[in-house]
Amino acid sequence: MSDHDTDQPITRVQVRGHTRDVPLKRYDLVCQFCHTQATVYRYPGQPPRFCSEACQADARMAADRERKAMQRQRQQAERAATGVVVHRGRPRKP
């Protein structure tokens, strides 16, 4: 008896000391990061949004970068608005 003969992928999980084979749910999706149509198998529950773990990691990193960039922009805008920016030198006036 072999697990590899079935076309339905399963994963083995530990349940209270014994192992159980759990069938994975098939999701057909378009990756939100690389926009590739993909079929992934996951535990039933929240449907995945990415074609692979790599894309998920990359997407998280990209979102992180974007958030930081926005944070920086906001801080700069706040600083400009509150006048906390330290100007180097004096503004020249004729």
Cβ-based nearer residue to Zn ion, 24 or 34 = 34
Among 24, 29, 34, 56, binds Zn ion (CB under 5 A): 34
Phi-psi region of 86 (alpha: psi -120 to 50; beta: other; left: phi over 0): beta
Cβ-based nearer residue to Zn ion, 33 or 48 = 33
Nearest of 43, 35, 42 to residue 59 by alpha carbon:
35
Segment lying near Zn ion (by CB under 5 A), choices 7-15, 53-61, 76-84, 85-93: 53-61
Q: What's the rounded Cα separation, in Å, for the pair 10 and 15?
A: 15
User: Which residues does 31 contact at the CB level (< 8 Å), separation at least 6?
Assistant: 37, 38, 49, 50, 51, 52, 55
User: Does 31 engage in binding with Zn ion (CB under 5 A)?
Assistant: yes
User: Does 24 engage in binding with Zn ion (CB under 5 A)?
Assistant: no
Least distance from Zn ion to the Cβ atom of residue 5, Å: 29
Cross-strand bridge partners of residue 84? none
Cβ-based nearer residue to Zn ion, 48 or 51 = 51
Residues that bind Zn ion (CB under 5 A): 31, 33-34, 51, 55
